[in-house]
C-alpha cells in the first residue's frame, strides 16, 4: 500500500472501539479510512457506539452520524457487515441474531481466512475480570480514561507549541505501569485460551485499545486497536495475510488536528 494514496481492497476488515458519542472518537479519520478501503467482509468488533457516555450526556456531531451512514452504505453495496456488540454498546446484545439495515448483529462469530484458518471474533470484555466481576470499577476506570485523554489533550497542545510530536499518555501507561502490563497480558492469554478451547487457530478481539498481531502458544492473537487514539484496523489480504493498518500514519493525519476538532 502506497502511504501517499493508501486505497485498498481487502478480503476482510476488522475495526472496534470507535466510541461514537464521545469527544475522544476520531470519526473524521474513520470516515477517511472507510472512504479509501473496500472489503468483502467488515466486522464491527464492539464498542462502536458508547452508550455509557451517551446516558450521561448527549454528544453526537455530524461526523458521528456520517460514520453510521457510511457503514450502512457499504452494506447496501454488497459488503457483508457483522456487528458484535461490546460492553459500551451492550444494549444491542438484546438484539443478536437480528439484521438492521443489512447489518447482522451477533454476540460472536467465526471468520475463515482465505488460507483456511478459523478465527474466533469477539469483543473480549467477557474475559476482562474487572468488567465481569466489578462493573462499577470498570465504569470508574472509564471515567479515569476519559480524564487521561483530557489531560493528554492539553499536554499535547503545549508540546505542539514547542514543535514536539504528539505523545499518548494512556499508551505510555499501558506499556510502563506494571499492573497495566499484567492486565493486558492476562486479557490476551484468556482470549487465546478460549480460542484454543473452541478449536480455532486464532482470535480477533478489541476492548483493550492495543493493536497487535502475534502468536501465543500456537494460537494467533489479533487485536484491531481503536479509533480513539491509535486509529488502527486489522485487515485480511486476499491471500489470507493479516496486517494492522495504522491509518493516521499511513495518511499523514495529525493527532493534534483530531483533538482540536473534538474539543472545539
On average, the pLDDT of the chain sits at 84
Distance between CA atoms of 251 and 29, rounded to whole angstroms? Answer: 9
Q: Evaluate whether residue 158 is within a structural domain.
A: yes
State the pLDDT confidence band at 225, using cuts at 50, 70 and 90. Answer: very high
State the pLDDT confidence band at 150, using cuts at 50, 70 and 90. Answer: low
Beta carbons of 32 and 253 less than 8 angstroms apart: yes
- Which domain range does residue 101 map to? 8-262
Q: How many domains does the chain have?
A: 1
CA angle centred on 81, ends 125 and 35, rounded to 5°? 105
Q: Is the pLDDT of residue 218 over 80?
A: yes
Q: Evaluate whether residue 1 is within a structural domain.
A: no
State the pLDDT confidence band at 132, using cuts at 50, 70 and 90. Answer: very low
State the pLDDT confidence band at 185, using cuts at 50, 70 and 90. Answer: confident
State the pLDDT confidence band at 161, using cuts at 50, 70 and 90. Answer: confident
Q: Evaluate whether residue 29 is within a structural domain.
A: yes
Q: Evaluate whether residue 2 is within a structural domain.
A: no
User: pTM to 2 decimals?
Assistant: 0.80
pLDDT digits (tens, 9 = 90+) for 32-75: 999 999 999 999 999 999 998 999 899 999 999 999 999 999 99
pLDDT at 262: 43
Of 228 and 7, which is predicted with more confidence? 228
Distance between CA atoms of 162 and 182, rounded to whole angstroms? Answer: 35
Beta carbons of 134 and 142 less than 8 angstroms apart: no
Sheet holding 80-83, edge to edge: 99-100, 103-105, 80-83, 37-44, 8-15, 232-236, 242-246
pLDDT digits (tens, 9 = 90+) for 235-254: 999 999 999 999 988 888 75
**Percentage of the chain exceeding pLDDT 70:** 73
Beta carbons of 203 and 220 less than 8 angstroms apart: yes
Q: Is the pLDDT of residue 21 over 90?
A: yes
Distance between CA atoms of 86 and 122, rounded to whole angstroms? Answer: 8
Beta carbons of 156 and 167 less than 8 angstroms apart: yes
Q: Evaluate whether residue 102 is within a structural domain.
A: yes
Q: Evaluate whether residue 229 is within a structural domain.
A: yes
CATH number of the domain that 118 lies in?
A: 3.60.21.10
Q: Evaluate whether residue 43 is within a structural domain.
A: yes
State the pLDDT confidence band at 142, using cuts at 50, 70 and 90. Answer: low
Q: Evaluate whether residue 218 is within a structural domain.
A: yes
Amino acid at each position: 500500500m502506497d502511504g501517499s494514496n493508501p486505497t485498498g481492497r481487502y478480503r476482510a476488515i476488522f475495526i472496534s472501539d470507535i466510541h461514537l458519542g464521545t469527544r475522544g472518537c476520531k470519526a473524521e479519520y474513520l470516515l477517511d479510512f472507510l472512504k479509501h478501503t473496500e472489503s468483502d467482509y467488515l466486522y464491527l468488533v464492539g464498542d462502536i457506539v458508547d452508550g455509557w457516555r451517551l446516558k450521561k450526556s448527549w454528544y453526537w456531531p455530524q461526523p458521528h452520524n456520517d460514520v453510521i451512514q457510511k457503514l450502512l452504505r457499504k452494506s447496501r453495496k454488497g459488503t457483508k457487515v457483522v456487528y458484535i456488540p461490546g460492553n459500551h454498546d451492550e444494549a444491542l446484545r438484546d438484539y443478536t441474531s437480528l439484521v438492521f439495515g443489512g447489518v447482522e448483529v451477533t454476540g460472536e462469530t467465526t471468520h475463515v481466512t482465505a488460507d483456511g484458518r478459523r478465527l474466533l471474533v469477539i469483543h473480549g470484555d467477557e474475559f476482562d475480570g474487572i468488567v465481569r466481576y466489578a462493573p462499577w470499577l470498570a465504569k470508574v476506570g472509564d471515567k479515569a480514561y476519559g480524564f487521561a485523554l483530557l489531560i493528554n489533550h492539553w499536554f499535547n497542545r503545549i508540546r505542539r507549541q514547542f514543535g514536539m510530536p504528539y505523545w499518548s499518555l494512556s499508551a505510555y501507561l499501558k506499556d510502563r505501569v506494571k499492573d497495566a502490563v499484567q492486565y493486558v497480558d492476562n486479557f490476551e492469554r484468556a482470549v487465546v485460551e478460549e480460542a484454543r478451547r473452541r478449536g480455532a487457530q486464532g482470535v480477533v478481539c478489541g476492548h483493550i485499545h492495543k493493536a497487535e498481531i502475534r502468536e501465543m502458544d500456537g494460537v494467533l492473537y489479533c487485536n484491531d486497536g481503536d479509533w480513539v487514539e491509535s486509529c488502527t484496523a486489522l485487515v485480511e489480504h486476499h491471500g489470507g495475510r493479516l496486517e494492522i493498518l495504522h491509518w493516521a500514519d499511513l495518511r499523514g493525519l495529525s493527532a493534534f488536528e483530531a483533538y482540536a476538532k473534538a474539543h472545539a
